[in-house]
Structure 1
């Protein structure tokens, strides 16, 4: 791409945003595969989801393709993917409902505050706690799904290990959500102070 093209390219027109769009499209694919009892293909789609989550951030930083739209869509894609994945695993009996409740409540609070205070776009960076949370869940949930296959079900330690990752990720979701709420509150106060 030429320098002129880069200067005239719209803010939203980046490779990371395209990858994020693919992540959105893969979410219903994964849910369908899990519910229809195709764990192998579900795992493949989940691996692609996890890799794309890392890739869009890496490309954005490496090639200076960060965008306002990307900052808004990336955490939404992460949360939707996590909710869909957890819900799917709960529906097939691999996790208790409390995990879904915790994740949905945290995300509902964040969505409400973002919508009311910032019209859905608070323009905040994703925290390291959020990144670690996502990594734990994107490792634990596929392994948990794998633990239900005929071969892995004979090895109970696989399921135990997966559950440890998932519960740590769930706790991290609460911590990351709390940090994000604090950041929203702080930004809201700054804006009100400037307006006053």
Structure 2
């Protein structure tokens, strides 16, 4: 008797999930290597593709009707790992201040610990609007800072740092929102 692969929300191997995985396995390490070796313009191109694939996986999931629980969990994790990985490379190059990376890491680790302690995994919370805006601000700040480094432009660096500060503040606000959502969900159990 042959078994058929799971369909719908239980499917793991879908085109959108392959795109998300490729983002983590290929594009992120390539982007980090380019940043760490001062190849600013190539890194900017790789990051543009990295950002585009973030949009592409969601578009493909909706268009091809391949939404899945695995994909819904993989996409935000891939976003977070991408932001942290690129930020580490930029901090190592003194383009991004270490404090920004530390704040993002503390918020993420706090959420991870709460999810593990209270839910033994993902609490299955939807992505908040502030969470989406935060990601957009960070995804805008990082390329601005790369262009500023490539052009050696002080004013553009300040614009990028301002956008980064907005993204970090949004990360804190979104994190508090997710903590509250987890607490409500835990009480409802």
Residue 14 of structure 1: CA displacement?
2.1
Distance 1:141 1:38 in 2: 15
| 1:188 counterpart residue number | 186
Deviations 1:148-185 (A, max 9, x none): 11xx22x4332122111111111111111111111111
Distance 2:133 2:8 in 1: 35
Q: Choose 117-126 or 72-81, whichever is displaced more.
A: 117-126
Distance 1:45 1:190 in 2: 43
Distance 2:54 2:184 in 1: 27
Distance 1:177 1:60 in 2: 26
Residue 140 of structure 1: CA displacement?
0.9
Structure 2, unmatched stretches of 5+, are none
TM superposition score normalised by structure 2: 0.89
| 1:71 counterpart residue number | 72
Distance 1:9 1:188 in 2: 24
Distance 1:45 1:8 in 2: 31
Query: Structure 1 182/9 Cα, relative in aligned 2: closer, same or farther at 3 Å?
Result: closer
The alignment status of 1:130 with 2:124, answered yes or no, reads no
Distance 2:120 2:28 in 1: 25
Q: Report matched runs for 1:82-121 at 5 Å.
A: 82-121=83-122
The root-mean-square deviation of aligned C-alpha atoms, in Å, is: 2.0
| 2:37 counterpart residue number | 36
Q: Report matched runs for 1:133-152 at 5 Å.
A: 133-149=134-150, 152=151
| 1:170 counterpart residue number | 168
